[in-house]
Chain A
């Protein structure tokens, strides 16, 4: 049992652990999948965001640059129109610079010796200084534009050209760019015309509206030189050089200038080890600048990581909680399991107890009913498994001892008291034939230790079978019904007192004659107080009515008849109390006497030979065999000697009358004296198993009488002790 419990426990624990583990793995998988998928989406999102930023800013820059290109083209015709006047070019440049706020300068570089009058190099240039525009011819030995990149590139390629931004060496050292277009006259390139534009807006444009606070954007020249970088107070300023180097080293970036695709690179900051992403793309068309957007993992995926971390903590919490809940649940389940086991155990114990209680009821019904002069039946229907009602009957020494009782309360406590009371009745009645004595002894035993105040109503009856004399004693029980000549009537009973209240209460016995053919019905209040659905009681009147015209029913039929009547009355209402009944049908048979003889002796043992001669003579008439004769002779001698010795006080002469009565079935010796009341049937049976030393000398007489005869019966009638010894003549000894 212990082993099973352990196994059960370990199984529960193991399955609980497994369950929690499976749940944990499932949730972990969910968190994992969610993380990976979200990360994937965020990756795409980030790329798109970066691409958007790059595109947006590139478009902004391009549109600014386009407007400058348009400015140059707007003034191109004016230059060409006035080529005949060398100084008019300066004038045109003047207005161009004057009219456009971002321009810091503008002018024309003529091919060497275009105007012989102006020398080899001629560059009229309008320069803005605090909104004041002045025009100078700035070419000379210190400024040979033909050696400059912007001039040569335009002349050689015959294409417009944007210079990389550079720091103005002349003005206020701001960042500027130069845009130049070739000018033609008669299909011949005659020089370049263009402007210098301030690129201060470029930094503002580039550094405006980043994806994340730590993100930054860079603009690189086609050659990979940094044009615009974040302000040097930007938190990630230290990563700028690393990013520029990475891009310049990357073949992918170089190749992307052809494919125009955004390149994504990962990097770890050399400064603080932070993980970052570089998004890189070429600006399309002139100028071939490269745009870079940098952002950091912490910002792009920080929320996701935080969320995942929180999820994991939640998961851990859920697991712990689940574990606790499971433990609680399992413990409850186990408790429930244990409780149901306990209930089952109690149930089965109750069933066993019920069986024991039923088996305590009289089982020797057949032996009694085979006698011929009795038809007895008992019935006990407990309201629960075990009840507090009891009944008992048995025949001893030609007397029917019977009782019926009801213990206060119900269930197990009542059943225990019931068992004790019933056992007491059997034990006491084995040695006492007087109902009052039986009642007193049971009461005294019951009063002892009656701390729980369990009271018992009990009716005890002793029916002398040869005479039909009924002695009875009541302890608070309902009066039985006596049916004489088909007429039911309540037996006249004194209530006395319930058992278990007053230790030395003097119970008073009563006596009546039970006519042959009459019936006694004993019952408990389970019958009279049986209630129907309207709480109406069955009642004594209904019981008496039911017992009218019961005709020649046997005891069993009578009980079934009453039980059916009660059952019909309650009509399915729940049985609230034990239903108990006993029926005693008294049917003595008067056999025809074949012999009657008697002898009167004195209380002197020396007269035993006369007695023996009388018995010999009777036996002779009946032609009994020697062995049976010897048995009867011994029994009668013992009984008579007993009366001789004890009936009368020493020295007082008294008579003892012995009558032999025989019928077809039996031979009876009735021994009567007028001495003091003495019931030899109450004597304790001598213990025949004792050793020589322990063995008392006397006490054998009554033992022999019981052993040798088929029955003995004692009655105190009219101041006489009447002891009847019976030997069945059909009986083979």
Chain B
């Protein structure tokens, strides 16, 4: 299961992902992360410290958020990904598209 939280601080959207973002969870997360699709120029920062697992459906959501943000001129940052998540991003080449901290 996945837990999500979104806050706006200093004109930036801060989101926290916690738990396992599998295919079933992604269906739910797509709704809860809805605000991130409308960043409207605000930068997006996604905290991944407690994200343990991500399936390709989860990657699709993040990629969609990124596409929307880029279109409105804002940046998407992924923070504190664990090595397994990071290797998934590396395999898919997505690591080069996001701003990773």
- Minimum CB–CB distance from A601 to chain B (whole Å) comes to 12
Q: Which chain A residues border B64 with CB–CB below 8 Å? A: 697
Interface residue? A208 (CB, 8 A):
no
User: Known interface pairs A606-B27, A637-B23. Does A693 touch B67 (Cβ–Cβ under 8 Å)?
Assistant: yes
Q: Which chain A residues border B59 with CB–CB below 8 Å? A: 700
Residue of A605, A698, A700 ringed by the most chain B CB atoms within 10 A = A700
Interface residue? A634 (CB, 8 A):
yes
Q: Which chain B residues border A631 with CB–CB below 8 Å? A: 84
Q: Which chain B residues border A692 with CB–CB below 8 Å? A: 63, 66-67, 70, 97
Q: A634 and B55: CB pair below 8 A?
A: yes
B-contacting residues, A675-714, CB 8 Å = 686-693, 695, 697-698, 700-701, 703-704, 707-708
Q: B24 and A607: CB pair below 8 A?
A: yes
Q: Which chain A residues border B94 with CB–CB below 8 Å? A: 688
Distance, CA A637 to CA B24, complexed state (A): 10
* A interface residues, tally (CB under 8 Å): 32
A642's nearest neighbour on chain B, judged by CB, is B56
Distance, CA A690 to CA B66, complexed state (A): 14
Distance, CA A609 to CA B20, complexed state (A): 10
Q: Which chain B residues border A482 with CB–CB below 8 Å? A: none
Contact of B92 among A607, A641, A700 (CB under 8 A): A700
Distance, CA A695 to CA B66, complexed state (A): 11
Q: B57 and A641: CB pair below 8 A?
A: yes
Distance, CA A687 to CA B54, complexed state (A): 20
Interface residue? B37 (CB, 8 A):
no
Distance, CA A686 to CA B27, complexed state (A): 23
Q: A608 and B93: CB pair below 8 A?
A: no
Contact of B93 among A605, A612, A638, A688 (CB under 8 A): A688
Q: B84 and A704: CB pair below 8 A?
A: no
Q: B84 and A703: CB pair below 8 A?
A: no
- Minimum CB–CB distance from B30 to chain A (whole Å) comes to 12
Q: A704 and B91: CB pair below 8 A?
A: yes
Interface residue? B13 (CB, 8 A):
no
Q: A686 and B70: CB pair below 8 A?
A: no
Q: B92 and A634: CB pair below 8 A?
A: no
Q: Which chain A residues border B83 with CB–CB below 8 Å? A: 627
Distance, CA A688 to CA B63, complexed state (A): 13
User: Known interface pairs A637-B55, A697-B63, A700-B56. Does A605 touch B24 (Cβ–Cβ under 8 Å)?
Assistant: yes
A-B contact count (CB 8 A): 76
- Minimum CB–CB distance from B3 to chain A (whole Å) comes to 15
B28's nearest neighbour on chain A, judged by CB, is A606
Contact of B27 among A605, A627, A638 (CB under 8 A): A605
Q: Which chain A residues border B18 with CB–CB below 8 Å? A: none
Interface residue? A236 (CB, 8 A):
no
* B interface residues, tally (CB under 8 Å): 28
B-contacting residues, A296-319, CB 8 Å = none
Q: Which chain A residues border B63 with CB–CB below 8 Å? A: 692, 695, 697
Interface string of B39-71 (1 = CB under 8 A from A): 000000000000011111101100110110010
B76's nearest neighbour on chain A, judged by CB, is A692
Q: A704 and B24: CB pair below 8 A?
A: no
Interface string of A205-229 (1 = CB under 8 A from B): 0000000000000000000000000
A644's nearest neighbour on chain B, judged by CB, is B23
**Secondary structure of the B side of the interface?**
helix
Distance, CA A605 to CA B25, complexed state (A): 9
Q: A698 and B20: CB pair below 8 A?
A: no
B-contacting residues, A16-49, CB 8 Å = none
Q: Which chain A residues border B96 with CB–CB below 8 Å? A: 689
User: Known interface pairs A638-B56, A641-B55, A703-B92. Does A693 touch B23 (Cβ–Cβ under 8 Å)?
Assistant: no
Distance, CA A690 to CA B96, complexed state (A): 10
User: Known interface pairs A638-B55, A700-B56. Does A689 touch B24 (Cβ–Cβ under 8 Å)?
Assistant: no
Q: A612 and B84: CB pair below 8 A?
A: no
Q: B92 and A698: CB pair below 8 A?
A: no
Q: B55 and A697: CB pair below 8 A?
A: no
Interface residue? B6 (CB, 8 A):
no
User: Known interface pairs A606-B27, A634-B88, A686-B92. Does A700 touch B60 (Cβ–Cβ under 8 Å)?
Assistant: yes
Q: B24 and A609: CB pair below 8 A?
A: yes
Q: Which chain A residues border B88 with CB–CB below 8 Å? A: 634, 704
A633's nearest neighbour on chain B, judged by CB, is B53
Interface string of B81-101 (1 = CB under 8 A from A): 001100010011110110000
Interface residue? A62 (CB, 8 A):
no
Distance, CA A697 to CA B55, complexed state (A): 13
Q: Which chain B residues border A254 with CB–CB below 8 Å? A: none
Distance, CA A609 to CA B64, complexed state (A): 24
Distance, CA A609 to CA B28, complexed state (A): 13
Q: Which chain A residues border B66 with CB–CB below 8 Å? A: 692
Q: A630 and B60: CB pair below 8 A?
A: no
Interface string of B16-37 (1 = CB under 8 A from A): 0000101110010000000000
Contacts A626-B84, A634-B55, A692-B97 aside, 14 further interface pairs with beta carbons under 8 A come to: A605-B23, A605-B24, A605-B57, A606-B24, A608-B23, A630-B52, A641-B57, A687-B93, A688-B92, A688-B94, A692-B63, A695-B67, A697-B60, A698-B60
Q: Enumerate 20 A-B pairs (CB-CB under 8 Å) in ascending A order.
A: A606-B27, A608-B23, A608-B24, A609-B1, A609-B22, A609-B24, A630-B52, A633-B53, A634-B55, A637-B22, A637-B55, A686-B92, A688-B91, A690-B93, A692-B97, A695-B63, A697-B60, A697-B63, A698-B60, A704-B56
The residues of A with any CB-CB pair to B shorter than 8 Å are 605-609, 612, 626-627, 630-631, 633-634, 637-638, 641, 686-693, 695, 697-698, 700-701, 703-704, 707-708
* 10 nearest A-B pairs in the assembled complex, by CB-CB distance: A688-B93, A700-B56, A707-B91, A701-B56, A608-B24, A608-B23, A641-B23, A605-B23, A630-B84, A608-B22
